[in-house]
Structure 1
């Protein structure tokens, strides 16, 4: 049961990964984020502290401005913290959880429960292929530079799912006439941070869409043997920049955001500093 619980947030994140670039046909732009924080205790008390926070800006110019969400829960010594900052072309997220060990030095049960936190953020925008004095039907191309940087606590997974941390991201660039597309999925458990470039061929007069997704999560139960905390820190951001093959070709989306804007330097952000201030003070200790 605990293993199923630990894997459920990751499965949900991958489901979002598959659907993040497929909004309803009537939507030209969207910025969306969901934060879930949960701390559950079974012993010596039975209680749940759980909250969900959502952001959903559809065809709203505010999507081009940095939006911030944060939430946390605390119960029976356990804590779950989640933080999101994002706009068109930029997603940042972090999640952290902690929970005390079940038993004392003599093996007597002191507390039982778990804490988990997750963040899922995505954006979608459509860009008219026009400008630069080019006639309709002229072949052109766009390159999207996808920058991802972040880290997971170590270890990021314990057998049985009692301690988990994950971070996944995606970029997708699509021709809305031919539905040809280029995309990349990134997983912190197997891929190194870096900048990835994907090129899409299209024609003047068409519309292309650009979408991005970032999902992170962390979970710890009282049974965990390898640590009392888990975290996923992607406050250094997933950034998306659009570069046309011809200078002057349009890079402004339906949201009004210009995707030619350079992505901020990863090292200039430390999103987890506030969220982990309390959790980070907890010493990692192995059970006696």
Structure 2
């Protein structure tokens, strides 16, 4: 009589042990952490300490050299007392800067597409663009004011000139930096030149475009202010406010206008960063 023997497998080490590894946080927890991350002291405390130290140094310098810096209290008083005045002039400067930014962006993007697609255009346009970039805008501004008058047109032209070159170079670089294997796939399926441009080159160039926009958004404000400073007969804008206040030795008004300009630049930079995060989520996911 044969007896059947069953082979019992030896227990695997750790087979019955509970899994003590921490589970990954849920999406809601991750989202809440991102929302409240700026409230952590390690995030805001260094900047707060730096601002307090700068404010103390500012007031000490203003106390000893009032001809150089006004007291911060005087700057704050004029901002509060004349808030409507600064808002109205900031709106004029912002409108000129945004108009110049739109003109510069559209023209630079079109030229960048032509430069990336047509070598003849690249050889003809890029040297001129480099010459334009190294030409001081401050030297051009008075001539544009004489040519176009004291209205918004010279401010828009100068702001667009400042924005033109960074957008052109970054966009052209992005359009031409498509990975060779990806380009080969599109050519294998007989994609047309227009399809490659729309579905491959332009999406590939978007991170480069937003990198340029981070630079030119604040620069457009600078271009508008430079034009306003050059147009001594202009009737509005923070650049005009600075020019008039400087001639009357009103340092508090000058630095209040500079503070508003800095705030405009920060707001524009924050807007383009938010827009980049919303439109380029696919790029962030691909690079992480």
TM-score (norm 1): 0.28
Larger Rg: 2
**Taking structure 2 as the reference length, what is the TM-score of the superposition?**
0.28
Higher strand share: 1
Normalized per residue, the structure richer in helix is 2
